[in-house]
Amino acid sequence: MARKATLGQLILVHWHDEEANELAAELRKAGWKVQVGMKELREVKAHPPTAVVISLRRLPSHGREVADALWYSKWGRAIPIVFLDGQADKVEATRTKFPDARFVNWADLPSELQQIRAQKRRDPGG
């Protein structure tokens, strides 16, 4: 039987291992290849994902630090960042710092990722 093609590669950053693995499992069921947690930036640069999904459910300041590290360089700013969930005040603080990022709740994440995928297919150069 032929293996189903993946929709793309995601990096999922969440500060609770069990929850991160549960979220990743759901995304994998939907057809995404998911790496939980950030690796070295040079690896991200060498193999850029379709998007980086950063949960703001726990330790939102840590999530902002991850986004800072990615957006520090021109190549990193080309990778879409999707912030997921979070308390309203923390989301607003993050939105102020990263106005070009996307902000969604869990229920809206699949459609947001599909939009990113479609946009990348139309404009693969960024």
pLDDT at 73: 86
pTM of the entire predicted model:
0.90
**C-alpha angle 95-59-22 in degrees, rounded to nearest 5:** 100
pLDDT at 6: 78
pLDDT at 125: 56
pLDDT at 4: 58
In the predicted model, residues of the chain with pLDDT beneath 70 are 1-5, 124-126
> pLDDT tens-digit profile of 89-115?
999 999 999 999 999 999 999 999 999
pLDDT at 38: 84
Structural domains present in the chain: 8-119 (3.40.50.2300)
Of 113, 87, 90, which Cα lies nearest the Cα of 26?
113
**C-alpha angle 109-115-80 in degrees, rounded to nearest 5:** 75
Q: Which residues contact 41 (CB under 8 A, 6 or more apart)?
A: 69, 70, 76
